[in-house]
Chain A
Amino acid sequence: VDPCHDEGGAPRGCVPGLVNAALGREVLASSTCGRPATRACDASDPRRAHPSALLTSAGGTASPLCWRSDLLHRVPLNVTLTVPLGKAFELVFVSLRFCSAPPASVALLKSQDHGRSWAPLGFFSSRCGLDYGRPPAPADGPAGPGPEALCFPAPQAQPDGGGLLAFSVQDGSPPGLDLDSSPVLQDWVTATDIRILLTRPASVGDTRDSEAMVPYSYSATELQVGGRCKCNGHASRCLLDTQGHLTCDCRHGTEGPDCGRCKPFYCDRPWQRATAWEAHACLACSCNGHARRCRFNMELYRLSGRRSGGVCLNCRHNTAGRHCHYCREGFYRDPGRPLSDRRACRACDCHPVGAAGKTCNQTTGQCPCKDGVTGLTCNRCAPGFQQSRSPVAPCVKTP
């Protein structure tokens, strides 16, 4: 079963499955304990190390091994966890399990350009105004028409001493938006990297008095980034390419890491994201097998009623035209061969003396003959005429 085509072979929108995009990915932590070694944490001893790799490894949850930051002694107490996802994903949720009392303030950010710029997805705090200058999130979602980074309550401490940070992309999105039809929602859920800023430990209250602080370390495990590899509806899976980069297994005449453009010869109409009801496949140009390249022309596309805008380039086999669908000057269509045949266009072969020119009728192959000359290539004198010695008037009336 091909998820990207129906039983009849017609293209249909398809998407990769929901995965934990962070699984096995390297996590860049701004602080990790064990260097230098302490009694509780030694980075050089696997039994006492707490590296950031534990956040995204597929360990069991019964007795989780946790990443742990250095002991932090004074405000600010920021620690950053960054997970490059390798390519664009469409997020569904982000979660992080804390192994000790969860922080009182956390900011969740995303990048869409592999870490060059960042935008907030959400904030979590017991005091949104003080920590992030934002009001607490309204119960019914964002007030505006589009998604927003809202400030939600900080993760609650669980009876086991830990806690769970859980964020769903729906939390910041107004109800009723549909991913297929909403470009702003598509933008909202798209991320190449996730960053979690742990900005205030649970033990630090409203005061910013560093003197009153007890040394603290953040500790967490099971960082999950639930999402789908972003392929714009044109692939059902992502694979590692020859250079080890995750990339969509593009169908529908598309290419690129996210199937975000049409393949070179598939430019008969503009690229579009597929939806659940329309595949919007890129269509190959119609060049009758006589061209390998084509370009898109928006004006022709509009004039055709948004059906076809491809223009074939470098028509071969003596063909010409937007679709290489007629013969170039000096050639005519051989009616015995299909248009796609390499020899569909035959040379006019007009006689150098009997013909008045070199260009024949493109349909019949008839060359323009001088007076008294006949034949498809003008190579004979007509009945009642005979050959003369003059190349200007090769046939004269028989006396």
Chain B
Amino acid sequence: EVMPTLDMALFDWTDYEDLKPEV
């Protein structure tokens, strides 16, 4: 089974702003 790649738009960065990667 091939899973879809992680969708960056689905992540909620509210509590993890400092971890958010630069795109």
A interface residues with partner B (beta carbon < 8 Å): 351-354, 373-375, 379-383, 385, 387, 389-392, 394-395
Contacts and interface: CB of A to CB of B under 8 A. Distances in A.
18 contacts: A351-B6, A353-B6, A353-B8, A354-B6, A380-B3, A380-B4, A381-B3, A381-B6, A383-B1, A383-B3, A387-B10, A389-B10, A391-B11, A391-B12, A391-B16, A391-B20, A392-B19, A394-B11
B20 to A, nearest CB: 7
Nearest to B14: A389
A28 B9 CA distance: 89
B9 to A, nearest CB: 10
A335 to B, nearest CB: 22
The 7 closest A-B pairs by CB, nearest first: A352-B21, A389-B12, A380-B3, A391-B11, A379-B5, A383-B1, A381-B3
A387 B12 contact: no
A373 B6 CA distance: 9
Contacts, number: 44
A354 B11 CA distance: 11
Nearest to A389: B12
Interface residues of B, number: 16
Given A379-B5, A389-B11, 16 more contacts: A351-B6, A353-B6, A353-B8, A353-B11, A374-B3, A379-B6, A380-B5, A387-B4, A387-B10, A389-B12, A391-B13, A391-B16, A391-B19, A391-B20, A392-B16, A394-B11
Nearest to B11: A391
Nearest to A379: B5
A394 B4 CA distance: 13
B10 to A, nearest CB: 6
A387 B7 contact: yes
Contacts of A391: 11-13, 16, 19-20
Nearest to B19: A391
A130 B5 CA distance: 102
Contacts of A392: 16, 19
Contacts of B6: 351, 353-354, 373, 379-381, 387, 394-395
Contacts of A380: 2-6
Contacts of B20: 391
A333 B14 CA distance: 37
Contacts of A382: 3
A79 to B, nearest CB: 85
Contacts of B3: 374, 380-383, 385
A380 B1 CA distance: 11
Contacts of B10: 387, 389
Nearest to B22: A352
Nearest to A395: B6
Contacts of B5: 375, 379-380
A353 B19 CA distance: 9
